[in-house]
Structure 1
Amino acid sequence: MSNSHLLRIFTLITTNDLALGYLAIPFRSDYEIVQKAVSVNDRALKFASADLQNSKQIVLDGVKNCGLAVRFASSELKKDLEIVKISLKTSNGKSFEFWDEYLRNDDEFIRKSELVTVATNQCGNSIRYASIFHRSDIELMTPIIKKNPFLIEHANRISEDMVKVAVSINGLVLRRLADRFINKTVHIAISQNKHAIGHVKD
């Protein structure tokens, strides 16, 4: 391939995150081309050959640019600790849902690494992809609910104090709660938002 041809391809893939998908298969299997593409566009990895989606260096280059690139990595690399940790940092916690499911539910590993705490501190919505063990952890869930009270619906274990925190921030959370909590916190919810009364059952 001539240098001018290669330069045109580089220009294309660095200005259009879907460009790699329009190239012929040999180009999507070319290490240099794919490496260039993933270093600037997180979706480029989607169009790389299966072999390159399983290349640790290619995937590392992708997640260093944007952690969400991990969603297009091979199943094997979605449980690579170096890759998932970098992806967490460069996606503000949003890559957690794309990790290998076994890794996300490995309570011992997650507890030791504190990755769920890191993920949810950066992106509270990540808690919906955490294991039951973590969603039952009141200490973990409470600060998440303080940031987004509606995430209380993903808690596997709910305390009355958690509910009070949630409705004091947004009274409309009342519609996500079981009757036993509504009766005890309705006055707090209505004080915060008068429209919360619409979610009180007769």
Structure 2
Amino acid sequence: LRKAADELKSDREIVLAAVQSYGYAMEYAADELMSDREIVLCGVRKCGSALRKAADELKSDHEIVLAAVQSYGYAMEYAAHELKSDWGFVMECVKKNGMSLFYAADELKSDREIVLAAIKNNRRALQFAADELRLDLR
């Protein structure tokens, strides 16, 4: 898709086929297709960092962001602010990929239950906990 003509980058069927096999193809798709929920969901399932290219309204979509985080924990960076501070949503994310704690709201990095769920998934997530909690859990 990277070297495709612009009209192909705007063709929904071509872009959908491309992201189904290679999620990062979203990076080269036309911007107007980045609000297409099906394309974005397919893309982030294959390549979580492709969430960066999604339209803002889809960065608030629980299913899309959760799929991105499951594929790539650091995809939480591109999630809408309200999701990063939503306790229940962040809990779902850290259970799928503990590394998503890195981009969670600061107040949730001090939440013992969230941090424990994150490190249960990936012990390296402890480095992202608030200082006082990190020292307590070592």
- Structure 2 length normalisation: TM-score? 0.80
Distance 1:77 1:132, change over 3 A: same
Query: What's the counterpart of residue 55 of structure 2?
Result: 74
In the other structure, the counterpart of 1:148 is 124
Distance 1:87 1:65 in 2: 8
Larger Rg, first or second structure (1 or 2): 1
Displacement of 1:129 in angstroms is 0.7
Deviant stretches of 4+, over 6 Å: none
> Aligned in 2, Cα 1:157/1:163: closer, same or farther, shift over 3 Å?
closer
Q: How much has 1:33 moved relative to structure 2?
A: 0.9
Q: Equivalents in 1 of 2:95, 2:62: separation in Å?
A: 19
Provide TM-score, normalisation by structure 1: 0.57
Q: Secondary structure at the match of 1:88?
A: helix
Q: How does 1:19-168 map to 2 (within 5 A)?
A: 20-89=1-70, 91=71, 93-105=73-85, 110-111=86-87, 114-142=88-116, 144=118, 147-148=123-124, 151=127, 154-156=128-130, 158-159=132-133, 162-163=134-135, 165-166=137-138
The residue correspondences of 1:159-178 to structure 2 (distance < 5 A) are 159=133, 162-163=134-135, 165-166=137-138
Distance 1:137 1:121 in 2: 14
Distance (whole Å) between structure 2 residues aligned to residue 70 and residue 136 of structure 1? 26
Percent of residue pairs identical: 32
- Compare relative contact order (CA 8 Å, sep 6+) and give the higher one, 1 or 2: 2
Q: Distance in 2 between matches of 1:27 and 1:149?
A: 41
Q: Number of matched residues?
A: 136
Deviations 1:118-137 (A, max 9, x none): 32234333212111220121
Structure 2: which 5+ runs fail to align? Answer: none
